[in-house]
A = this chain, B = another copy of it.
Amino acid sequence: MCSPEIVRRARDGVPQPSRRALFGLAGITALAAVSPAPALAAPRPGAVVDLTHTLTPQLPVWPGNPPIAMVPVAWHASGGFGQLALGYWEHTGTHLDAPAHRIPGGATTEALAVEDLLAPLVVIDISAKAAVDADAVVTVADLDRWRARHGEIPERAFVAMYSGWERRIAEPSTFLNLDPQGRPHAPGFSGEAAEYLVAQCGIVGVGVDTLSLDCGADPDYGAHTAVLGAGRYGVEMLANLATVPPIGARVVVGAPKHAGGTGGPCRVLALT
């Protein structure tokens, strides 16, 4: 027998209602439906902050993608060890976008430079405008405002958008926020801001607390194209960005390393 706790969690994870909840709702949800903002608490210097959501079958996924499947395949009672089999599409949970996700022939997961997985962390907070506009984006003007307040963006930084969207994560319909045409509406980077970060700031990658580097309203995926097209990487569905400073922390991106991958779930830690 497997650990009862493991069996229970795996069984409870089977998403009977969640697929309907994810894909059946069409209206853009009211902002009143989201949870209140978390209290901002600066971490002590030397702390490790987890920027990773726990991956469950209930987490929102991009429309059409399945939730993660977890099935016990080994049991303590029969061999002394428990083990699950996992099945998922790569772009699930807090996950990496490798260049190959957007760019045919682009770098795959195992080809990312390991030096780029440790970087200064920059957080651009657009939660105020995202609270009243689901299609809000990080603009070049936002970057200019950040620089006026905090100084230059360091070389080889990882630049993350904090939109406050993770407050919606317990309710996938509000996190996805589909319009009547089934298109998600959530904040992201503008294509211009992404191009600026790549060309002017020499970033290693960008991150968002939503499901896409682009806002849902961008049919051209300008941010994906700018970042991944330049051989840089993205991380989507980051957690806890409200608890790290705008500058001063470092991020470690525990990128997956399967051969030929276009991305995948990754552990992301901020070192303050």
Interface of A is mostly: mixed
Q: Given A101-B83, A118-B271: A5 and B262 within 8 A (CB)?
A: no
The chain A residues found within 8 Å of chain B, CB to CB, are: 3-6, 8-10, 13, 47-50, 52-56, 68, 70, 73-74, 76, 80-91, 93-94, 100-106, 108, 110, 114-115, 117-118, 221, 224, 252-267, 269, 271
Least CB distance from A151 to B in Å reads 22
Interface centre among A49, A82, A85, A100 (most CB of B within 10 A): A82
**Residue pair A86, B83 in contact (C-beta under 8 Å):** no
**Residue pair A87, B85 in contact (C-beta under 8 Å):** yes
Give Cα distance in the complex from A9 to B100, angstroms. 12
Chain B residue contacts of A68, Cβ below 8 A: 258
Pairs A-B, 4 closest by C-beta atoms: A254-B254, A9-B260, A254-B267, A55-B258
**Residue pair B81, A89 in contact (C-beta under 8 Å):** no
Q: How many copies does the complex hold?
A: 2
**Residue pair B108, A260 in contact (C-beta under 8 Å):** no
**Residue pair A9, B101 in contact (C-beta under 8 Å):** no
- Which one, B89, B93, B259, B261, contacts A73 given CB within 8 A? B89
**Residue pair A5, B87 in contact (C-beta under 8 Å):** no
**Residue pair B76, A84 in contact (C-beta under 8 Å):** no
Interface centre among A5, A9, A101, A257 (most CB of B within 10 A): A257
**Residue pair B118, A13 in contact (C-beta under 8 Å):** no
Give Cα distance in the complex from A84 to B73, angstroms. 22
Q: Given A10-B260, A117-B267, A118-B271: A102 and B89 within 8 A (CB)?
A: no
